[in-house]
Amino acid sequence: MGKSMISNLITGIKDVLVYQPPDQPTPFVLNETATEKAEIDGEFFPPAAVAEGIRELEFMINYAKKLDAFMKKSSKDLRSKEKHEIVKKIKAEFEMIQTEWKEIKKYTQKNHSIDGMYNNTVISADISENQSMLESIYQLPVNKDVVIRSITISDQPKIKALVVFMDGLIDKKIINMTLLEPLMFMKNIQEHVQGEDFISFVMEECLPSGQASRIGSFKEVQQAINTGDAVVFFDGSGEAVAVETKGYEHRSIGNPTTEQSVRGSQNAFTEVLRVNTALIRTMLHASDLVTEMIPIGARGHSNCAVMYIKSIANEELVEEVKRRVNSISTDIITDSGVLEHFIEDFPKNPFPQTLSTERPDRVAIHLSEGRVAIFIDGSPFGHILPVSFFTLMHSSDDFSLNLYYTNMLRLVRWFGALLSLLLPGLYLAISTFHQEAIPTELLLSIAAARAQVPFPTIVEILFMEFSFELIREGGLRIPGILGSTIGIVGALILGQTAVTAKIVSPIMVIVIALTGLASYSIPDYRLASAFRLSRFVFVLLAMSMGLIGVACGFLVFIAMLCSLKSFGMPYLVPLAPRTVNGGDTIFRSSAYHQKRRSDALNTKDEIRQKDTSRTWITDSSKGGNDHE
Amino acid sequence: MNDLHPGKLGVAEGIALVFGIVMPRVFLSTVSNLIQQDGPILWLAMVIYTIIPLIVLYMMAYVHKGITGDIFMVCQKLIGTIGAWVILLSYSVMFLSNGALILRLYSEYTLLTALPRVEFQLVIVWYAVSAGIVCYLGIEALTRTSYIVMPFSIAAIGMILLLLVPFYITYNLTPWQGNGVMQAVQTGIKGAGYNVGVLALIFLAPAFQNARTIKKAALYALSYAGILRVSFILVYIMVFGTSVGAEKTMPLFELARLVYLNQYLQRIEALFIVVWVIFGLLAVAGSLYVGLYLLSVLLKLPTLRPIVPLGAILIANLAMMPPDIGYVLEVDQKLITLFDVGIYVFPALLFILAWWKKRRGKLCGSASS
């Protein structure tokens, strides 16, 4: 029955008067899932993987029970009844069980792909099974990165092979020239087609690659493929061959950007781990320089390189570093800063407990001191450990310049660090609580400058500090060369206008500018950040109790530094506790006077050089006499 | 090695610990009172009360020598469990009350010199929290901090003493006998209790490398403290004389006030506050740590960290109890008797018992052979 005119009219009026939402599809909303506890015995497991793992085990147990029952029943039947009928029945049942097993296998493959872990799965002799496993792991054919190339090698007999690699991570020329070509042109290998011998034959006689290794599990297969190697599977063999075919794009070696040097080396690390380790090798030609690779991350599978000189570094230290790196249980680490948080003694303390550097020459020097270096794939920074507070105050140029000039620079740095830490706090304390300590003329000048400022000193300081941090952060984020320009212009304009507007006094601009400048004299960026953070605490302490607050804060600050340790080594060594220093603490001695390595590192070989490291002084020269 | 005995402390740490605990009193009114008693010969009293604690420490080192374990085990073997409890509890009370007293005196002087408008309870809480944090960070942090800042503090005091050269009046040191040599000797013997802090080395012996380290640390610490005290007293008497000097309540502050180099460097006493605050805080933290350590040993606690906040609250409350500064000074005078028990009675008792046991052991040994 059609609607009446009145009801149509009412509907029409209603449509005009009442707001109707536009006819749109329902917007996508990402549903929140209930968080589940995913930690078992301190190890990381994705929750889905745990649940599926349990289900998988249940399947397996049920299957095992069925198999057991089938075996018992078959054995009983075979003993008692007519053989022919029984064999037929058993055959049918066995086929059913086999089908079930295939289903379970398929299911477990599907489940494994949830967390990407196939740690216990071994390579099958059946190549089609391996292919289906690979398709399951890499989500093929949806995933377009992984290429599975199916080939047939040899004529007598014909052997099926699979070449698997990650497109973009490999060098296609290497794949074609050193893998596909030799394999496809391989002829008559009848006498070698038996188990391990065949793999050995292929590796020794067919693959002209620099690096080829035999692998047996899908964990190794994944590690190889994910890092740019190609893996070759052969039908009938329970092993595969991983061939080095890396050839991905990366940034070339550039100049250091955060640790610039006037006279030192101009090389800096890149994002490629192997390039970084090679850069150190170019500086340090020691045969016992060891590079150990430790994979980190259940999903990321990043490689972490631990480097040390075997004959110098303390074994306990090396073992401890490896233990900490090995024990990391997370899904992915791609940055050296994140790695640091996982392994340092006091991750909540803002003071850096490793020396983060982008300079191979620095790493080489510290390795020769007996320290350990660690690198992670994808990060252009390496960590040197253990380090003391004093090491962080050294710069890469220190040994390139004249002894006295370097020591003067170091003095300036220490003075800068103190200013960076205490200057605003001291100014606030003295100008607010202890005016009597200021010479009369200066006091009058400060008072005159502050006369028209409507805020207390603490507000001035916080305003200026906040502005300074804002300019610093903004300058970093603005792209390209504009960043520094805007930073300078911003600082100038902001400072000038703040003084003109009488929001802050001119002396406050001087104090904050001096403090900011002083903080840049600290060579280590993270140490400078820690000082910056501590500065705010000192400002608050000064605001509360004047010089008493600053003194108490300073004492607690030093006590905190004394209690810190970097991989078991006291942070203020060789000052606290007092140990034999290598002639390079606050000031440095001449390179030829630094005869011993740092005592705190407890190295295997303490002596760096002989007492007479400049033998030419004692040897007679062949030149003429000056007095002739 | 456990949390109570974290590492192997060396001579420098030992010196810093003892120096930090025994030194700060020289900056307080104690010196003025003693000058009133002894006159210009006070330096002799200072020498005596530096030597006596050193002898006592060597006696205690002898006691500790033949018996392994911490101080409780040593006392337990010599005098029994109840005796050990009495002795260690007394020492704990001594250190905690010393900490509380120094806390109160420094707070009072802070009000007088630096922050006249602040409530004294606030200052006490401030100092107690700071000392508690240092103490919480452990003996390594405490002693190492102490020996990092001590040289600068001592250099600052030395500088003040040198800058006052124009004010030196050597005649003020006469008559050199003061109020009598015997009087000075008596003061020295009676005041030795103020150096009870040296026994901290014996109590914390397991944290140090060996007995030689402890003896060396005690020798150096008391020698440095003695030299500084004697120099300070001589300069103080030369500058103010005995009669005026006896009236000053804050000797070091008064000395610093006199320094005037030129119009750009005047009134350095305000900046000097930083130095004596550091001295005071280290003394409070050191006393608090030793007092709590003894309690931890008695109660067999695996670590003293959880009781540090309680200890800090305890000494802060103790420090707030006296109604005025006059009463505090009175308590200070009385407390010396308790400290004297700690420096004379207990060590002597333990020494005699140890000597007797060793002698008896020898006699038994020779009789059996």
pLDDT in tens, A460-495: 999 999 988 888 888 878 777 677 777 777 777 888
Q: Report whether pLDDT(A384) > 90.
A: yes
pLDDT tens digit sequence for A333-343 = 888 999 999 99
Say if residue A52's pLDDT is above 70.
Answer: no
Residues A192 and A341 in one domain: no
Give the Cα separation of B200 and A312 in Å (integer). 40
Summarize the confidence of residues A387-410 as an average pLDDT: 91
Could you report the per-residue pLDDT of A517-549, keeping only the tens digit for each?
A: 999 999 999 999 999 999 999 999 999 999 999
What is residue A362's predicted lDDT score, i.e. its pLDDT?
A: 93
Comparing alpha-carbon positions, the chain B residue that sits nearest to A545 is B115
Question: Does residue A63 or residue B295 have the better pLDDT?
Answer: B295
* A/B interface, count of CB pairs below 8 Å: 101
pLDDT (0 to 100) of residue A268: 92
In this structure, chain B runs to a length of 369
Contact call for B114 and A437, based on CB within 8 A? no
CB distance A562–B277 less than 8 Å?
no
What is the band of A317 on the pLDDT scale with cuts at 50, 70, 90? very high
- How many other CB atoms are found less than 10 A from the CB of residue B121? 12
Q: Indicate the residue among A531, A555, A570 that finishes a domain.
A: A570
- Closest partner residue to A563 among B138, B265, B278, by Cβ? B138
Is the CB of residue A241 less than 8 Å from the CB of residue A215? yes
The DSSP call for residue A434 is -
Asked if A433 reaches chain B (Cβ–Cβ under 8 Å), the answer is yes
Of A437, A549, A556, the CB nearest to B270: A437
Looking at the fold, whether A444 and A554 belong to one and the same domain comes out as yes
Tell me the shortest Cα–Cα distance from A565 to chain B, in angstroms: 11
A426 lies within 8 A of chain B by CB? no
Total domain count for chain A? Answer: 4
Give helix A457-477 / helix A525-563 axis angle, nearest 10°.
130
Pair A110, A132 in one domain:
no
Query: Two tokens at B46?
Result: 């200072």
Tell me what ipTM this predicted complex has.
0.92
Domains of chain B listed by start with CATH number: 11-352 (1.20.1740.10)
Residue A604 within a domain: no
Q: What is the dihedral of CA B20, B25, B26, B29, to 10 degrees?
A: 160
Q: Tokens for A132?
A: 């289906």
Residue A422: partners with Cβ closer than 8 Å, 6 or more residues away? A535, A538, A550, A554
Mind telling me how many Å the CA of B356 is from chain A's nearest CA? 39
Per-residue pLDDT tens over the stretch A357-370? 999 999 999 999 99
Whether the per-residue pLDDT at A41 is higher than 70: the answer is: no
The pLDDT score that the predictor gives to residue A110 is 56
By C-alpha distance, the chain B residue nearest A562 is: B141
Nearest CA in chain A to B8: A577
Residue A250 lies in a domain: no
Chain A residues inside the 8 Å CB shell of B110: 548
B138 touches chain A (CB under 8 A): yes
Domain assignment of residue A333, yes or no = yes
**Pairing outcome for strands A569-570 and A565-566:** antiparallel
Query: What is the predicted pLDDT for the residue at A43?
Result: 52
C-alpha distance from B264 to closest chain A C-alpha (Å): 5
- Based on the fold, state whether residues A80 and A139 are members of the same structural domain: no
Q: Given an 8 Å threshold on Cβ–Cβ distance, is A546 in contact with B114?
A: yes
CB contact under 8 A, B145 and A558: yes
Residue with the bigger pLDDT between A232 and B179: it is A232
CB-based contact A560 B137, cutoff 8 Å: yes
Pairwise CB contact (< 8 Å): A547 & B133: no
Residue in B115, B141, B271 closest to A548 by CB: B115
Write out chain A residues lying below 8 Å of B12, CB-based. 577-578
* Nearest-angstrom CA–CA distance, A408 and A399: 13
Contact yes or no for B274 and A547 at CB 8 A: yes
Which residues between 74 and 113 in chain B have a beta carbon less than 8 angstroms from any beta carbon of chain A?
Answer: 110
What are the chain A neighbours of B114 within 8 Å (beta carbons)?
433-434, 546-548
User: Tell me, what's the pLDDT at A108?
Assistant: 65
Q: Which of A430, A444, A555 to mutate to test the interface with B (most CBs of B within 10 A)?
A: A555
Give the length of chain A: 628
The span from the CA of A233 to the CA of A130, in Å, is 8
**Which residues contact residue B188 at a Cβ distance below 8 angstroms, ignoring those fewer than 6 apart?**
B44, B45, B46, B47, B48, B49, B52
The answer to whether the CB of B215 falls within 8 A of the CB of B201 is no
pTM score of the predicted model: 0.84
Same domain, A361 and A235: no
Q: How far is B141 from chain A (nearest CA, A)?
A: 5
Pairing of strands B265-266, A565-566: unpaired
Interface test with B, best of A548, A563, A571, A578 (most B CBs within 10 A): A548
Question: How far does the CA of residue B269 sit from the closest CA of chain A (Å)?
Answer: 8
Q: Does the CB of A434 have a partner CB in chain B at under 8 Å? A: yes
| Higher pLDDT among residues B47 and A187, named by residue | B47
Write the residue in A437, A552, A562 that is nearest to B267 by C-beta: A437
Chain-chain contact of A554 with B278 (C-beta, under 8 angstroms): yes
Q: Taking a C-beta distance cutoff of 8 angstroms, is the pair B18, B218 a contact?
A: yes
- Domain containing A99: what range? 47-115
Number of Cβ atoms within 10 Å of the Cβ of B362: 10
Residues 6+ apart with CB under 8 A from A164: A134, A146, A147, A148, A149, A221, A225, A230, A231, A232, A233
Compute the distance between CA of residue B295 and CA of residue B99 in angstroms, rounded to an integer.
15
- Indicate if A358 and A381 belong to the same structural domain: yes
The gap from C-alpha A298 to its chain's centroid, in whole angstroms, comes to: 14
Mean pLDDT, chain A, rounded, equals: 85
CB contact under 8 A, A548 and B140: no
Average pLDDT score over residue span A182-199 = 68
Q: B124 — contact with chain A (CB < 8 Å)? A: no
- The residue ranges of DSSP E strands in chain B, in sequence order, are 260-262, 265-266
Within a domain: A601: no
- Of A367, A340, A282, the C-alpha closest to A525 is A340
DSSP assigned state of B121: H
Residue A354 and residue A325 share a domain: yes
Please give the Cα distance from A588 to A598 (Å, whole number): 13
Tell whether omega for the bond before A21 is within 30 degrees of 0, i.e. cis: no
Q: Which residues of B touch A443 (CB under 8 A)?
A: none
pLDDT at residue A382 in the model = 94
With respect to residue A497, please indicate whether it lies within any of the assigned structural domains.
Answer: yes
Q: Which of 506-565 (A) contact B at CB < 8 A?
A: 544-552, 554-556, 558-560, 562-563
Q: Which residues contact A202 (CB under 8 A, 6 or more apart)?
A: A183, A186, A232, A234, A241
Instruction: For chain B, state the CA radius of gyration.
Output: 21
Q: What pLDDT tens digit does each residue of chain B (369 aa) get?
A: 455 665 578 899 999 999 998 888 877 878 888 888 888 998 899 899 889 999 999 999 888 887 777 888 889 888 899 999 999 999 999 999 999 999 999 998 888 888 888 888 999 999 999 999 999 999 999 999 998 998 888 898 899 899 899 999 999 888 888 888 899 999 889 888 888 899 999 999 888 888 888 999 999 999 999 999 999 999 999 999 988 988 888 888 888 888 887 777 767 787 788 888 888 999 999 999 999 999 999 998 888 899 999 999 999 999 999 988 888 888 888 888 888 899 999 999 999 999 888 888 766 666 555
Residues A111 and A135 in one domain: no
SS3 A617: helix
CA distance A53 to A76: 35
Q: Is residue A198 part of a domain?
A: yes
Q: Are residues A221 and A319 in the same domain?
A: no
Residues in chain B within 8 Å Cβ distance of A560: 137, 141
The answer to the question of residue A396 being in a domain is no
Compute the half-sphere exposure of residue A240: CA atoms within 13 Å on the CB side of its CA: 31
Q: Which residue of A lies nearest to B263 if distances are taken between CA atoms?
A: A439
pLDDT, position A63: 82
Q: Give B35→chain A minimum CA distance, Å.
A: 29
Stretch A169-175: mean pLDDT, rounded?
90
Residues A440 and A564 placed together within one structural domain of the fold? yes
Shared domain check, A561 and A424:
yes
Cβ–Cβ below 8 Å for B144 and A437: no
pLDDT at A194: 54
**Contact (CB<8Å) B126/A556:** no
A169 Cβ under 8 Å from any chain B Cβ: no
Candidates A554, A563, A572; nearest CB to B137: A563
Does the beta carbon of B148 lie under 8 angstroms from any beta carbon of chain A? yes
Centroid of chain to Cα A75? 59
pLDDT of residue A191: 58
Identify the three-state secondary structure at position A171. Answer: coil
Q: Of A548, A556, A576, which has the smallest distance from its Cβ to B114's Cβ? A: A548
A440 and B118 in contact by Cβ < 8 A? Answer: no
Per the domain annotation, does A566 fall within a domain?
A: yes
CB-CB under 8 Å, A575 with B148: yes
Distance (Å) from the C-alpha of residue A539 to the closest C-alpha of chain B? 16
Give the model confidence (pLDDT) of A254-277 as tens digits. Answer: 888 888 888 888 889 999 898 999
When pLDDT is averaged across residues A560-579 and rounded to a whole number, the result is 91
Across the interface, whether the CB atoms of A552 and B145 are under 8 A apart is answered no
**CB contact set of B24 (below 8 Å; sequence gap of 6+):** B102, B106, B276, B279, B280, B282, B283
User: Final residue of a domain: which of A520, A553, A570?
Assistant: A570
Number of Cβ within a 10 Å radius of residue A286: 15
pLDDT at A188: 63
The reported pLDDT for the residue numbered A118 is 56
Q: Which residues of A touch B274 (CB under 8 A)?
A: 547, 550-551, 554
The continuous run of DSSP H or E covering B9 comes out as: none
Sign of CA dihedral A282, A284, A285, A289: negative
**Facing residue for B148 by CB, picked from A430, A551, A558:** A558
Of A226, A243, A260, which marks where a domain is finished?
A243
CB contact under 8 A, B147 and A576: yes
Q: How far is CA A13 from the centre of its chain?
A: 66
- Do residues A56 and A105 share a domain? yes
Residue A624: C-alpha distances to residues A357, A627, A628, B348 (Å): 47, 9, 8, 77
Predicted pLDDT at B70 = 83
* Range A14-33 average pLDDT: 77
